[in-house]
Structure 1
Amino acid sequence: MAETFNAFVITRDDDTKEQSAGWTTVSMEDLPEGDVTLRVRHTTMNYKDALAITNKSPVVRRFPMVPGIDIAGEVTASDSPDFAVGDEVIMNGWGVGEVHWGGYAQYARMKSDWLLKKPAGLSGADCMAIGTAGYTAALCVQRLLDAGLTPDKGTVLVTGANGGVGSFSVALLSALGFTVAASTGRPEEADYLKSLGASEIVDRAELSEKGRPLDKELYAGAVDSVGSTTLANVLSKVKYDGTVAACGLAQGFDLPATVMPFILRGVTLAGVDSVMAPKPRREAAWALLDKHLDRAKLAEITQEADIKDVADIAPDLIAGKIRGRLLFKVD
């Protein structure tokens, strides 16, 4: 194991509070506390990573910080009985990249409770192409399945369908036999969404403006990553006894809704958190991805990029100029 290695480090001046970031050499002794050390092999970029790098939002809460909330790699040292040297592992969330050093480095040190064994049917690169976005989508789909949703009950709506969570939700639901309606504000992406399995394209404008407290029953369930007025309208359109899995706030964190869908139609609003989800729930989500995610569709929404360019890529991701998932190989 190397004594020093390369890492992308975000620092902040204590006096001016100005943030700077770049690649530098760090020591193994600089790694944070944890009982498992990893050689990072692959990572990706999420919206949260891009916010941390560009300082568009106060994501980082401890400095210096290495961003990268998703990691795939192999164990190089372990004090945990659950992991041995050479084990291939993955990690998502747990405040990594915010308060604990993440995956934009050749090595990382983690708490063993945060790690999962890599699913047998997926490579480390596959897992990072999926990343937190796909893992969150799987958590959402699992919530719908746990609520008893089956394909015969009708169409499932996916909002923010062009985003990472939305794209994976469309692909997973389609693979499970559901008829999927995909909501997007980019009509030029209709063919892309249909290639992932969407049967119907819904204009985002139909959901983003104030609607009726109780509308026509159109959908058996939904995956929503948008929140705010969009989620309120989705709830108003869900059929009796339907379920909506909510995981995001792209439009806003408010919810200008009424209780009518809940008390007149028995609709369930199921919250989904990916950051602190317990290990059994994570394992179930990754098992769902391993079994049902179409590898050809995964390849279609994935593009490889050079990790050396993360500082240049982050602003483009925030601006919505990057479609699908980015995959970084950590050399």
Structure 2
Amino acid sequence: MTLFRAFRIHSDEAGYRAGIEAMSADALSPGEVLVKTAYSSVNYKDALAGTGKGRILRTYPLNGGIDVAGHVIASTDPAFKEGDAVLCTGSGLSETRDGGYGEYVRLDARWTIPLPAGLSLRESMILGTAGFTAALALLRMQDNRQVPALGPIAVTGASGGVGQLAIDIFSRAGYEVHAISGKADHFDVLRSLGASACIDRHQLVFSGKPMDSARFGGALDNVGGSMLSGLLPLISPYGNVAICGNAGGIAFDSTVMPFIIRGTSLLGIASAGTARDIRDSIWQHLASDWKPRHLERIATREVELDGLPGIFTRMLTGDSSGRTLVRINNTV
């Protein structure tokens, strides 16, 4: 194989730097499945890693990109053969091993998912870690007896990738969704994705009481901080709050009252290390009964490898919404 292009991240005596480089397949992280990349995506974690604004990588150098989808070109694992369409999210990509921002990637067979019927490679990367996270939250909430009859689901950070996909996924699954966002100019879009109500974060006032009148049956919180503190007293008896982000801070104030009076559950959503059997189940849901109905509307932009730095900057300054698809090879 000739040299190929990759967005590679370094941190050494010369400092932190990232950009397009030529590399060979022999330099890729070890793994059983060699894939020609079709698409990747941009997540907040990718922007932190690609700019050095967050300590994401545990070893250097590595190719960025925590999501990847493409076609197998070689495999030493009999479960995969040349030409198979596959995807992978998290599972050490752009953390302990080379990620999806390269024309080729070598994957660990344990975490390589055959593309399920009902999804294209492109659709799988519009979903990516963001869609997987939203679906994992729904799975965990339903495992803990969340049902639509408990009341509407509040989705915070609703204009972001996880938020928009969560609106679509939860509404597809039969839940009423109330979108909370600081970007009121995005409300029409959020309603078009399935939100029955939109709440301006800047006008949302919490009472500060340990308990308040129940307003939501549950919540998917991308924000943390004071938002999480304010939501907990508003959850209906035996509702769940799934927490998957910390845009508003990693600390929050609360009391035991929502937990011991109403039986509220706080569920942590850690998508990167999800067990394989749960991954398989979630991707089957995302290809069928939970498949978002508005994926192309949620994919608000598409870039190639050269466009990554600009997208990272926009994402870290809050000037982005929806999902950014990364087209790497001209493969559908």
TM category (shorter chain) comes to over 0.9
User: Partner of 1:6 in structure 2?
Assistant: 5
Contact 1:207 1:230 in 2 (8 A): no
CA shift, 1:76, in A, is 1.3
Deviations 1:271-297 (A, max 9, x none): 111000001111222222212356551
Provide, for residues 153-186 of structure 1, a one-character-per-residue CA deviation record: whole Å limited to 9, x for no partner: 2211111111111111111111122111111111
After superposition, residues 154-173 of structure 1 pair within 5 angstroms as 154-173=151-170
**CA RMSD of the aligned region, Å?**
1.6
| 2:8 aligned partner, one-letter code | V
The residue type paired with residue 13 of structure 1 is D
- After TM superposition, the structure 1 = structure 2 runs for residues 157-236 of structure 1, keeping only pairs within 5 Å, are 157-205=154-202, 211-236=208-233
- 1:306 partnered with 2:296: no
**Counterpart of 1:249 in structure 2: which amino acid?**
N
Greater mean alpha carbon deviation, residues 228-237 or residues 4-13: 4-13
Aligned partner (choices 242, 247, 262) of residue 244 of structure 2: 247
Q: TM-score, normalised by structure 2?
A: 0.94
How many residues matched? 328
* Equivalent in 35, 47, 50 of residue 50 of structure 1: 47
- Where 2:315 maps in the other structure, the secondary structure is helix
* CA distance in 1 between partners of 2:29 and 2:291 (Å): 37
Alpha-carbon deviation of 1:322? 2.1
Distance 1:215 1:105, change over 3 A: same
Aligned residue identity for 1:291: S
Letter in 1 for 2:213: K
Structure 1: state its 5+ residue gaps: none
Letter in 2 for 1:233: G
Q: Determine the C-alpha separation between the residues in 2 that align with 1:73 and 1:99.
A: 20
- 2:138 alignment counterpart: 141
Unaligned 5+ runs, structure 2: none
Q: Aligned with 2:267: secondary structure?
A: strand
Judging changes above 3 Å, is the alpha-carbon distance between structure 1 residues 23 and 276 closer, same or farther for their aligned structure 2 residues?
same
Deviations 1:207-235 (A, max 9, x none): 68672211111111111111122112211
SS at match of 1:37: strand
Answering whether residue 114 of structure 2 is matched by residue 117 of structure 1, we say yes
- What is the distance in 2 between the residues matched to 1:152 and 1:22? 50
| Change in 2 beyond 3 A, CA 1:166/1:139 | same
Instruction: Please state how far the C-alpha of 1:143 moved relative to its aligned partner.
Output: 1.5
TM-score (structure 1 length as normaliser): 0.94
Match of 2:277 among 263, 277, 280: 280
Map of 1:324 onto structure 2: 322
Q: Determine what percentage of the aligned residue pairs are the same residue.
A: 38
Aligned-partner residue type, residue 120 of structure 1: A
8 Å CA contact 2:38–2:327 kept in 1: the answer is yes
Query: Which amino acid counterpart does residue 30 of structure 1 have in structure 2?
Result: A
| 4+ aligned runs moved over 4 Å, structure 1 | 206-210, 293-296
Query: Using the alignment, how far apart are the partners of 1:77 and 1:108 within structure 2?
Result: 11
